[in-house]
């Protein structure tokens, strides 16, 4: 998730160009409803976002739709592209010192926060300070800020404690620092830096403001009348939580919701590819589907055994059965669109005989493993079931178990004993810098390092590459991570979305760095 600043390049998905199809029915049975006339956009979440839509707390997937449409940062990534391209947002111009330590910004004038107060340079320091004080997952992006100094109301300089080539990526990425109203923070801060207030309110500058947040039930966004940019076509966005994937598809097929933006199972993907009554989109991302191996449990404490488990997995078969039409077999340990194809190569040849030989010498209790997956991801349920069959053929007794997102994140920093031996997981970088992905995934303190696997050579290579953004060093970090036997990149995955044919602007609303999400202000009816 990139980090939720990590994403450039040539090792991209083969189908990375923006594609869509729609038109007359060619075999499907559903007939979409007409476009709404009330300017209300109906979408949905497959599960509750799981964390408050507070930009300094939220660090998961589906809820990005809320945080990225209500809040804005200094920079953003351009929509409608297959590579990450920086562009202005609340900063109109910026410069970086040659050593990537001092960054200067000219700020946009005429911007209002949703509480009616003006956006000025004072908000930059207040927002950075608040993120550090809340100290949740995304806080690492501001921990190295040494000072924030203002030059009048519309100029600001940020000085870091040490050079960081990823800092601009941090500012632009979907989990990066967002600007919050200093007056609103002061008024509603309470004893928790306004965390309670921001569970069902917002203090952003985005095109939409949060008008309902009922956990497990529904969320609602309303267009902000004083927004500085182009006014959204849709005046309201309603997002009920629909926890059953079949019920979600039924509501979509009946025209009750305008689009499904994430987590369609492979069986549904095929049905929508075949049904031309609806538009379908396979949009480029930096998402990858990984296999994680827990080095703290059972037979997996031995690196040789971990590598043998990964060698027993038939990756091509997994991708063929799960990601047809929306992904391809990964060739790099890094996510797609981040590094040139020659860097970060995986070298885990498929050879189940290695695990078979090891399993034959193990006691029965060491042969029993659990394969976990996020309960909101039907693709990983299928992948886990396929891996179960493959490992069984090699001599292991594997069971498959679903875990909620909140429990998965609870494994970070634990002893790993409550976690499964193996987990399948769809992840993406916080930001499009290889350093960010490597740090959050492979460093011992990383927010996506669920099982605490690391190696000194990985950390050293990441640190060496950070000051000047050196791909060769980041590539070394990746190859050293592969040697631990803790990670295998299975597939580079596109965002597969389906929409009613009247919903326009899907490609223009999609950002390669922001999975499961759209910039709602770019959507309209046509």
pLDDT digits (tens, 9 = 90+) for 362-401: 999 899 999 999 998 889 999 999 999 999 999 999 999 9
Question: Would 32 be classed as within a structural domain?
Answer: no
Confidence at residue 445, expressed as pLDDT on a 0 to 100 scale: 87
One domain for residues 61 and 194 = yes
CATH of the domain at 511: 3.40.190.10
Residues 426, 503 share a domain: no
Write the CB contacts of 175 (distance below 8 Å, at least 6 apart in sequence): 1, 2, 3, 4, 55, 58, 59, 137, 138, 141, 430, 431
Q: What are phi and psi for residue 24, nearest 5 degrees?
A: -75, 160
Mean pLDDT of 10-22: 34
Residue 257 lies in a domain: no
**For residue 62, what pLDDT is reported?**
84
Domain identity same for 198 and 346: no
Identify the pLDDT of residue 52. 96
Do 325 and 217 lie in a common domain?
Answer: no
Q: For the segment 225-271, what is each residue's pLDDT rounded down to a tens digit?
A: 999 999 999 999 999 999 998 999 999 999 999 999 998 888 899 99
pLDDT at 31: 53
* CA 145 – CA 451 distance, rounded (Å): 29
Domain presence at residue 217: yes
Does 475 share its domain with 513?
no
pLDDT number for residue 76: 98
Range of the domain at 519: 41-233+499-525
Residue 34 CA neighbour count, 13 Å, CB half: 3
Mind spelling out the 3-state secondary structure of 240-282? EECCCHHHHHHHHHCCCCCEECCCCCHHHHHHHHHCCCCEEEE
- Report the CATH number at residue 294: 3.10.105.10
**pLDDT at residue 5 tops 50:** no
439 and 507 part of one domain: no
Residue environment code for 296-319, b if the CB has 16+ CB neighbours within 10 A, otherwise e: ebbbbeebebbbbbbbbbbbeebb
- 254 is a domain residue: no
Whether 167 and 221 share a structural domain:
yes
The total number of structural domains in the chain stands at 2
Same domain, 337 and 224: no
Q: Which alpha helices (DSSP H) does 279-351 contain, by range?
A: 303-311, 315-322
Q: What is the pLDDT of residues 443-499, one digit of tens each?
A: 998 889 999 999 999 999 999 999 999 999 999 999 999 999 999 999 999 999 999
pLDDT in tens, 114-131: 999 999 999 999 999 999
Q: What is the pLDDT of residue 266?
A: 86
Q: What does the pLDDT look like over 17-75, one tens digit per residue?
A: 333 333 333 333 445 578 999 999 999 998 899 899 999 999 888 899 999 999 999 99
pLDDT value at position 9?
Answer: 31
Using one digit for the tens of pLDDT, what is the confidence trace for 182-201?
999 999 999 999 999 999 99
Q: What is the pLDDT of residue 428?
A: 92
Same domain for 485 and 503: no
Task: Let me know whether 475 and 505 are in one domain.
Answer: no
| Cα 141 to Cα 5: distance, rounded to the nearest angstrom | 9
The pLDDT value recorded for residue 26 is: 30
pLDDT at 486: 98
pLDDT of residue 32: 55
Q: What is the pLDDT of residue 189?
A: 96
Q: Is residue 224 part of a domain?
A: yes
Does any domain span residue 268? no
Instruction: Say yes or no: 105 and 201 in one domain.
Output: yes
Residue 481 counted as domain residue? yes
The mean predicted confidence, pLDDT, of the chain is: 92
Please determine, for residue 13, whether its predicted confidence score (pLDDT) is greater than 70.
Answer: no
Same domain, 369 and 445: yes
Q: Reduce the DSSP state of residue 422 to 3 states and report it.
A: strand
> Are residues 8 and 168 in contact, defined by beta-carbon separation less than 8 angstroms?
no
Edge-to-edge, what's the strand order for the sheet holding 145-150?
91-96, 102-107, 155-160, 145-150
In a domain, 467, yes or no: yes
317 — pLDDT class (breaks 50, 70, 90): very high
């Amino acid at each position: 998730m990139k980090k939720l600043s990590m994403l450039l390049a040539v090792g991209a998905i083969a189908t990375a160009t923006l594609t869509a199809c729609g038109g007359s029915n060619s075999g499907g049975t559903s007939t979409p409803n007409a476009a709404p006339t009330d300017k209300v956009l109906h979408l949905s979440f497959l599960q509750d976002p799981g964390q408050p839509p507070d930009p300094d707390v939220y660090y998961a997937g589906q809820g990005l739709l809320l945080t990225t449409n209500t809040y804005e940062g200094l920079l953003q990534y351009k929509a409608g592209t297959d590579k990450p391209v920086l562009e202005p947002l609340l900063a109109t111009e910026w410069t970086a010192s040659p050593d990537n330590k001092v960054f200067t910004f000219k700020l946009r004038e005429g911007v209002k926060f949703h509480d009616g107060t003006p956006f000025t340079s004072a908000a930059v320091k207040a927002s950075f300070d608040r993120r550090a004080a809340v100290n949740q997952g995304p806080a690492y992006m501001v921990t190295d800020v040494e000072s924030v100094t203002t030059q009048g109301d519309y100029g600001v300089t940020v000085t870091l404690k040490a050079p960081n080539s990823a800092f601009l990526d941090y500012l632009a990425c979907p989990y990066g620092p967002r600007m919050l109203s200093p007056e609103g923070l002061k008024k509603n801060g309470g004893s928790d830096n306004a965390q309670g207030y921001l569970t069902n309110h917002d203090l952003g500058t985005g095109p939409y403001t949060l008008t309902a947040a009922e956990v497990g039930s529904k969320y609602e966004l309303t267009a902000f009348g004083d927004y500085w940019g182009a006014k959204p076509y849709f005046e309201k966005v309603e997002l009920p939580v629909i926890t059953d994937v079949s019920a979600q598809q039924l509501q979509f097929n009946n025209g009750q919701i305008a689009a499904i933006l994430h987590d369609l199972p492979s069986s549904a993907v095929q049905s929508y590819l075949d049904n031309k009554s609806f538009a379908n989109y396979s949009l480029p991302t930096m998402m990858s589907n990984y296999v994680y191996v827990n080095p703290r449990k059972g037979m997996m404490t031995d690196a040789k055994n971990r590598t043998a488990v990964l060698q027993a997995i038939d990756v091509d078969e997994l991708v063929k059965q799960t990601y047809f039409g929306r992904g391809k077999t990964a060739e790099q340990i890094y996510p797609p669109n981040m590094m040139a194809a020659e860097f970060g190569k995986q070298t885990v040849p498929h050879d189940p005989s290695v695990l078979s030989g090891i399993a034959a010498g193990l006691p029965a209790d060491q042969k029993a493993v659990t394969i976990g997956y996020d309960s909101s991801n039907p693709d990983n349920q299928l992948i886990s079931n396929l891996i179960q069959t493959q490992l069984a053929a090699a001599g292991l007794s594997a069971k498959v178990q679903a875990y909620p997102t909140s429990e998965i994140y609870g494994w970070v920093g634990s002893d790993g004993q409550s976690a499964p031996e193996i987990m399948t997981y769809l992840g993406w970088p916080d930001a499009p810098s290889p350093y960010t992905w490597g740090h959050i995934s492979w460093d011992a303190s990383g927010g996506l390092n669920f099982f605490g696997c690391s190696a000194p050579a990985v950390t050293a290579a990441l640190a060496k590459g950070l000051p000047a953004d050196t791909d060769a060093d980041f590539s070394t970090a990746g190859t050293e991570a592969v040697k631990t036997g803790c990670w295998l990149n299975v597939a580079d995955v596109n965002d597969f979305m389906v929409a009613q044919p009247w919903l326009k602007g899907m490609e223009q609303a999609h950002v390669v760095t922001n999975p499961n999400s759209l910039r709602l202000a770019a959507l309209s009816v046509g």
